[in-house]
Amino acid sequence: MFVSAIIAAGGRGARFGGAQPKQLSLLAGRPILQHSVEAFLNNSAVAEVIVALPDDLAASPPGYLLTCAKPVRIVAGGVRRQDSVARAFALVSPAADLVLIHDAARPLVSDTVIQRTLAAASIDGAAIAAIRARDTVKRAGADGVITATLPREEIFLAQTPQAFRVSILRDALAIADNGTDEAALAEQAGHHVRVVEGDPRNLKVTTPDDLVMAERLISDSRAAVTPLRIGNGYDLHRLVAGRPLILGGVTIPFEKGLHGHSDADAVCHAVTDAILGAAGAGDIGRHFPDTDPAWQDANSIRLLHRAAAIVRDAGYAIVNVDVTVIAQRPKLSSHAETMQRNLSAALGIDCGQVSVKGKTNEGMDSMGVGDSIAVHAVALLTGVRSK
């Protein structure tokens, strides 16, 4: 069974406030959007993810959407939620049997809820996660006077994900009326939609207070089951004539370059060792030995991308990386931002999670006299959130 997942992130969260779209707000050090996307990338049943973003974000997506182990497609959203979902649905693989739809604003969705919703949709054709009302439910008129008491055992509060057979979702999206979710449209199209048990922790971040609550929930969960791992990386190369100087994927104009088997990008090498070390996955020499001709003149940004995949496969997410380059010459400040962007793209994290800074060695040792360049890197990893 081929399963596609659509992440609805086309809005800007006006009720949340702030200068940037709500889905870019940080939760436990990572954007809300990244949490939501990774929940589906990490699900074994999901084959591809389509993300609907505001126009400007779709034109220049965050790095963590560009370096994923599974196919991720990006589309500009529409005016309404159903318009965004329809545009994303148009990019779903022709092989798809079921389509999951999830609000980016629900970053704490669990693997259990995703699997439960998929299982029900595979049998009934359409299913949504929802939680049963716990309180007595009243209906009141515009004047605030109660007109009815509703049987709470029949009341459910809808969540996402919602899952549909492709044909049912196509029928739902053909409905012209506004719908608050795809299940409502499927009902209007004449289809039955099954309710499965959701999760109270699968809250929707609508206001800043909701973000505080989500932060507390994810913090409590990770404190209980998820370790933090710190890795240290170091690399030093001699400067020699006749080689390009490449640092952090940037070719820097200079009369000398770094000597090495690959492109000798000491920044990438130090970061590679830092993330591999933090994950307990060895070092750069173990995975990309300089005795192997395959790595002769290799692009170290690509090696770093492969190392990041090794780290993710080991069950870890990269929280941040801090890099210090020690070089008497050339001055690196004008190149630091580009290095930062290159590293973040290779690591699959946001640019703000990477820091690159340059230092001199005050004229001392081989670095201080301009014979070498050294790099120190520190990486912080966290285990993937418990499902």
Could you tell me the CATH number of the domain that includes residue 46? 3.90.550.10
Could you tell me the CATH number of the domain that includes residue 373? 3.30.1330.50
pLDDT of res. 226: 59
pLDDT of res. 176: 80
pTM of the model as a whole: 0.62
Same domain, residue pair 7 and 21: yes
Same domain, residue pair 254 and 119: no
**Number of residues in the chain:** 387
pLDDT of res. 224: 52
Same domain, residue pair 185 and 97: yes
Residue ranges in the chain modelled with pLDDT below 50:
385-387
Q: Which residues pair with 212 in a beta bridge?
A: none
pLDDT of res. 362: 82
Closest CA to 9 of 35, 28, 27, 30: 35
Within 8 A by CB and 6+ apart from 127, the residues are 117, 118, 120, 121, 162, 163, 193, 194, 195, 196
Same domain, residue pair 172 and 76: yes
Same domain, residue pair 160 and 269: no
Quote the number of domains for the chain: 2
Write out the residue range of the structural domain in which residue 293 sits.
228-383
Final residue in a domain of this structure, among 183, 199, 225: 225
Beta pairing, strands 354-359 & 316-326: parallel
Predicted confidence (pLDDT) per residue in 129-170, tens digit: 999 998 999 999 999 999 999 998 889 999 999 999 999 999
Instruction: Supply 239's token pair.
Output: 């400067």
The four Cα atoms 268, 273, 275, 277 give a dihedral, to 10 degrees, of 180
Closest CA to 182 of 202, 204, 162, 156: 162
Final residue in a domain of this structure, among 191, 225, 259: 225
Same domain, residue pair 49 and 124: yes
Distance CA 211, CA 214 (A): 5
Q: How many CB atoms lie within 10 A of CB 253?
A: 8
Closest CA to 219 of 379, 365, 26: 26
Distance CA 290, CA 292 (A): 5
Same domain, residue pair 210 and 232: no
Same domain, residue pair 355 and 253: yes
Instruction: Supply 169's token pair.
Output: 């979702």
Cα–Cα–Cα angle for 139, 14, 213, rounded to 5 degrees: 70
Same domain, residue pair 16 and 31: yes
pLDDT of res. 37: 96
Distance CA 162, CA 179 (A): 14
Same domain, residue pair 138 and 263: no
Final residue in a domain of this structure, among 207, 225, 243: 225
pLDDT of res. 385: 41
Is the bond into 161 cis (omega within 30 degrees of 0)?
yes
Q: How many CB atoms lie within 10 A of CB 149?
A: 10
Distance CA 204, CA 207 (A): 9
